């Protein structure tokens, strides 16, 4: 039988089946009039080979480890090596966080992920007035190289890779990491890890910006250029959809806005004279793993295909590594409920599974108590065990991209790809991600989706188990992990001691050199490294840059 | 019949926290419910919030914080309001705030705390009943 004839026969059978189902609907209606996923994509009753485009198999889907990487960036994926299990952690002081890292490594975690407190993320020392109430709260407080030395005490940097969630002051924290490793006897060229360094999503979604876009993009391209030569195994940026999604975007918007930011970074680096195939392979990405299991898997696959196409066709990359999206995934914090928190263990397990089926390179699983506070040791252990269960017990890791070929999943992958590409075209028309953010377009799109999501919950069009259905009376949780306010006092004391012990002349010289370079065009990194090594504080370094670059003012996007 | 002028609300983000999904959702809902909302944007000091509230002559200050700095920032706003002699503003807090902290915050003068899972309707009703 010819393929054509087979298809015709199927089409006939499908029509007959669909008519039959329609007729019975009056008696036995479906749960909803319309099934639509979070991205607004209609979901059909059933998918068949009629939804398939096998004629486009190679260009659209291809083989694992081959362009366009829809099926994964490596040919063997988890048959070769599991993803890196990397729990985001850090709170209070460097000593306290160092203890948590060593606990996690003892429990079989394979990489570190550092959470900094907000003053550190926004370039304030712990003794700054802006830092009152925030020191050590959402992450560890770092004021100088001294704190970084404590943070990584007895952690073998040649064996462990470290991811640091730091954006505006990423250059400073990277410099501290390099300086500290040097003291441990580990050369910069051996260091493996990631700095988030993704300022654009800070403007649109996460809020820890310092400088305006132009100098911020310069810092980023300076880092690209420096690392290419000196820290070649370092991921110089983690272009993040995670926070865009947490701020309320849909899955399609997450892909579109993340890759649009990616395009802006590549353009900035090209403009700075870098070659796409030198920095391209070191770009990494970070996605969210949300509730809709299959939509999420399709999202990762679509993102891989779309980035590969962008790098190859728009930027003429030649190195396959430039075309591969390597990404970290974190389960969606915004889906955790305060109500019946143990249900969160199950939510996280499903979300982690979709990240694995979507081919993630590393994964953070949220702890059940994170809707309320920083995770307890027990809760973190369960979260890590969830990943280990998926890796070692479920069998999904034994074949590459096991859901490929599902009629639904492939149709959804294509749909997300096309819709995200449409958004990117629209952003291109605005002049790219930076103008789109400056005009408030991306922020508005995200906040509209967030508002719709909330109203859907309130109208019970979206059911959240334990929140708007299946509720129970519960005891209020007690004994939460809390950060002692004394952390701030201790940080301030240490900073004072540091300032009295260090060679202040050397510090001042390094800071005035940095200021001069900031006013010119040379690469900032070597000067930041000198300042860090002289034990200039994070706040001192960022204040010099504030003086030269100014500060970003948020655009207002509320009101219509 | 209610002939009063529209309720005016200052939606504010004190501290360094950048999580503004919640405050924007609440602000949108209050606007849809017919209130006038002024949103401060991120990174407001208690002094800035109190100044804006007075300048905008609002009936309600609705603050949102998810970083854990509420125990310092919320009472500070109340202290500054008192210093300025403002006693008729309804001050609300929202975000990730442990139950154990609520009595202390209420003692400082915060009228109500709304945690995760609160509906916008609950907040709208609360404001209408208490302004």
**pTM tops 0.90, yes or no:** yes
- CA of B13: which chain A residue's CA is closest? A207
SS3 content of chain A, % helix, strand, coil (to 5): 55, 10, 40
Centroid of chain to Cα A399: 26
* Tokens 């790809």 -> residue: A417
Nearest to B18 among A206, A447, A451 (CB): A206
Q: How far apart are CA A68 and CA A306, in angstroms?
A: 8
Q: DSSP letter for A469, please.
A: B
B13 CA to chain A: closest CA distance, Å?
A: 11
Domains and CATH numbers, chain B: 8-130 (3.40.50.280)
Residues of B in contact with A373 (CB under 8 A): 68, 96, 98
For chain A, report the end-to-end CA distance as a whole number of angstroms: 59
For chain B, report the end-to-end CA distance as a whole number of angstroms: 16
Residues of A in contact with B20 (CB under 8 A): 207, 247
Question: Which residues are A112's β-sheet partners?
Answer: A162
- pLDDT at residue A483 in the model: 85
- For residues A397, A246, B17, A161, the Cα torsion angle rounded to the nearest 10 degrees is 20
Measured CA distances, A216 to A150, A197, A210, A371, A525 (Å): 29, 10, 8, 32, 13
Nearest to A247 among B11, B15, B21 (CB): B21
Nearest to A137 among B18, B29, B69 (CB): B69
Going A81 to A103 to A175 to A330, the CA torsion angle's sign is positive
- pLDDT at residue A111 in the model: 87
Measured CA distances, A500 to A160, A170, A504 (Å): 34, 26, 8
> Per residue in A355-407, pLDDT tens?
999 999 999 999 999 888 889 889 999 999 999 999 999 999 999 999 999 99
Cβ separation B16–A122 shorter than 8 A: yes
Cβ separation A451–B24 shorter than 8 A: yes
Token readout for A185 is: 């006897």
Query: Do residues A462 and A35 touch, judged by C-beta distance below 8 A?
Result: no
* Tokens 């139950």 -> residue: B99
Q: How far apart are CA A322 and CA A334, in angstroms?
A: 32
How many CB atoms are located within 10 Å of the residue A382 CB? 20
> Per residue in A306-332, pLDDT tens?
999 999 999 999 999 999 999 999 999
A285, containing H or E segment: strand A283-289
* Tokens 């070597």 -> residue: A526
Tell me: pLDDT of A296 over 90: yes
Token readout for A265 is: 């970074």
- Mean pLDDT over residues A180-206, rounded? 97
Among the residue ranges A98-102, A261-265, A311-315, A473-477, the one predicted with the least confidence is: A473-477
Q: How far apart are CA A323 and CA A314, in angstroms?
A: 11
Q: DSSP letter for A191, please.
A: -
Tell me: pLDDT of A479 over 90: no
Q: How far apart are CA A557 and CA A554, in angstroms?
A: 9
Question: Which residues are B11's β-sheet partners?
Answer: B39, B62
Cβ separation A373–B96 shorter than 8 A: yes
Residues of B in contact with A463 (CB under 8 A): none
- CA of A555: which chain B residue's CA is closest? B41
Nearest residue to B12 (alpha-carbon basis) of B92, B85, B83: B92
Q: How far apart are CA A345 and CA A383, in angstroms?
A: 7
Residues contacting residue A52 through CB under 8 Å, at least 6 positions apart: A407, A410, A411
A275 CA to chain B: closest CA distance, Å?
A: 34
- CA of B115: which chain A residue's CA is closest? A338
- How much is the ipTM here? 0.95
B29 shares contact with chain A (CB less than 8 Å) = yes
Percent of chain A with pLDDT over 90: 91
Measured CA distances, A253 to A313, A417, B28 (Å): 22, 11, 20
Counting one residue from chain A and one from chain B, the pairs whose CB atoms sit within 8 A come to 106
Suggest the residue from B18, B41, B70, B114 to mutate for an interface test with chain A (most A CBs closer than 10 A).
B18
Q: DSSP letter for A140, please.
A: B
* Residuewise pLDDT in 10s, chain B (131 residues): 455 689 999 999 999 999 999 999 999 999 999 999 999 999 999 999 999 999 999 999 999 999 999 999 999 999 999 999 999 999 999 999 999 999 999 999 999 999 999 999 999 999 999 99
B63, containing H or E segment: strand B60-65
Residues of A in contact with B41 (CB under 8 A): 554, 556
Cβ separation A558–B27 shorter than 8 A: yes
Query: Do residues A332 and A291 touch, judged by C-beta distance below 8 A?
Result: yes
Centroid of chain to Cα A228: 22
Q: How far apart are CA A22 and CA A445, in angstroms?
A: 36
* Tokens 């003291």 -> residue: A183
A484 CA to chain B: closest CA distance, Å?
A: 11
- pLDDT at residue A54 in the model: 63
Centroid of chain to Cα A259: 12
A130 shares contact with chain B (CB less than 8 Å) = yes
Token readout for A463 is: 């059911």
Token readout for A315 is: 């930027």
Phi, psi of B34 (to 5 degrees): 95, 10
Cβ separation A133–B39 shorter than 8 A: no
> Per residue in A147-173, pLDDT tens?
999 999 999 999 999 999 999 999 999
Cβ separation A138–B115 shorter than 8 A: no
Cβ separation B39–A476 shorter than 8 A: no
Cβ separation B21–A246 shorter than 8 A: yes
Suggest the residue from A242, A343, A371, A454 to mutate for an interface test with chain B (most B CBs closer than 10 A).
A454
A238 CA to chain B: closest CA distance, Å?
A: 19
B2 CA to chain A: closest CA distance, Å?
A: 25
Measured CA distances, A176 to A158, A194, A318 (Å): 16, 14, 33
Measured CA distances, B55 to A291, A437, B4, B87 (Å): 43, 29, 20, 15
Cβ separation A556–B41 shorter than 8 A: yes
A248 shares contact with chain B (CB less than 8 Å) = yes
A42 burial via Cβ count (<10 Å: 0-12, 13-18, 19+): exposed
- CA of A117: which chain B residue's CA is closest? B67
- The mean pLDDT of chain A is 95
Token readout for B121 is: 């309707």
Query: Do residues A365 and A384 touch, judged by C-beta distance below 8 A?
Result: yes
């Amino acid at each position: 039988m010819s393929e054509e004839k087979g298809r015709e026969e199927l089409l006939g059978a499908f029509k007959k089946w669909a008519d039959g189902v329609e007729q019975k609907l009056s008696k036995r209606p479906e749960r909803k009039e319309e099934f639509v996923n979070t991205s607004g994509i209609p979901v059909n009753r059933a998918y068949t080979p009629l939804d398939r485009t096998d004629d486009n198999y190679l260009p659209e889907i291809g083989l694992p480890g081959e362009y366009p990487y829809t099926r994964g960036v490596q040919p063997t994926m988890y048959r070769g090596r599991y993803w890196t299990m990397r729990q985001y952690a850090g709170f209070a002081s460097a000593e306290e966080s160092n203890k948590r890292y060593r606990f996690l490594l003892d429990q079989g975690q394979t990489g570190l992920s550092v959470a900094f407190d907000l003053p550190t993320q926004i370039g304030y020392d712990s003794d700054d007035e802006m830092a009152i109430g925030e020191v050590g709260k959402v992450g560890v407080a770092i004021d100088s190289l001294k704190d970084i030395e404590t943070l990584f005490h007895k952690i073998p940097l040649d064996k462990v890779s470290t991811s640091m969630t730091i954006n505006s002051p990423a250059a400073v924290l990277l410099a501290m990491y390099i300086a500290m490793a040097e003291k441990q006897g580990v050369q910069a060229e051996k260091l493996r890890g990631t700095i988030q360094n993704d300022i654009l999503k800070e403007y649109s979604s996460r809020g820890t910006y310092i400088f305006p876009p132009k100098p911020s993009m310069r810092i980023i391209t300076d880092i690209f250029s420096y690392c290419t030569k000196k820290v070649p195994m370092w991921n110089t940026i983690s272009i993040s959809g995670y926070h865009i999604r947490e701020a309320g975007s849909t899955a399609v918007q997450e892909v579109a806005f993340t890759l649009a930011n990616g395009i802006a970074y590549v353009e900035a680096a090209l403009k700075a004279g870098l070659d796409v195939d030198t920095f391209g392979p070191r770009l990494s990405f970070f996605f969210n793993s949300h509730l809709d299991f299959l939509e999420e898997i399709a999202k990762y696959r679509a993102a891989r295909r779309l980035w590969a196409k962008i790098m190859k066709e728009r930027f003429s990359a030649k190195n396959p590594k430039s075309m591969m999206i390597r990404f970290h995934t974190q389960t969606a914090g915004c889906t955790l409920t305060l109500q019946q928190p143990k249900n969160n263990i199950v939510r996280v397990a499903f979300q982690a599974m979709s990240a694995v089926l979507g081919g993630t390179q590393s994964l953070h699983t949220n702890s059940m108590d994170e809707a309320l506070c920083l995770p307890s040791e027990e809760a973190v252990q369960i979260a890590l065990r969830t990943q280990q269960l998926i890796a070692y017990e479920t069998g999904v890791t034994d074949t590459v991209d096991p859901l490929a070929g599902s009629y639904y999943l492939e149709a959804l992958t294509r749909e997300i790809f096309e819709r995200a590409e449409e958004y990117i075209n629209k952003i291109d028309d605005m002049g790219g991600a930076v103008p789109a953010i400056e005009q408030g377009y991306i922020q508005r799109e995200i906040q509209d989706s967030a508002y719709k999501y909330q109203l859907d919950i309130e109208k019970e069009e979206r059911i959240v188990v334990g929140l708007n259905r299946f509720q129970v009376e519960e005891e209020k949780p007690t004994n939460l992990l809390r950060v002692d306010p004394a952390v701030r006092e201790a940080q301030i004391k240490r900073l004072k001691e540091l300032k009295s012990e260090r060679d202040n002349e050397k510090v001042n010289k390094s800071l005035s050199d940095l200021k001069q370079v900031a006013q010119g065009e040379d690469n900032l990194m070597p000067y930041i490294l000198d300042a860090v090594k002289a034990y200039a504080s994070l706040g001192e370094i960022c204040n010099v840059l504030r003086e030269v670059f100014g500060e970003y003012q948020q655009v207002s996007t509320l009101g219509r | 019949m209610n002939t009063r002028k529209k309720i005016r609300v200052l939606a504010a983000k004190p501290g360094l926290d950048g999580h503004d999904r919640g405050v924007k959702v609440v602000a949108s809902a209050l606007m849809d419910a017919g209130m006038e909302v002024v949103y401060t944007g991120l990174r407001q000091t208690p002094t800035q919030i109190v100044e804006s509230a007075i300048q905008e002559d609002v009936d309600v200050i609705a603050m949102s914080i998810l970083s854990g700095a509420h125990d310092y920032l919320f009472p500070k706003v109340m202290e500054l309001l008192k210093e300025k002699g403002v006693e008729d503003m309804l001050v609300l807090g929202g975000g990730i705030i442990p139950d154990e902290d609520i009595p202390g915050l209420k003692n400082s003068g915060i009228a109500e705390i709304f945690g995760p899972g609160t509906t916008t309707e609950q907040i709208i009703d609360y404001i209408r009943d208490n302004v």
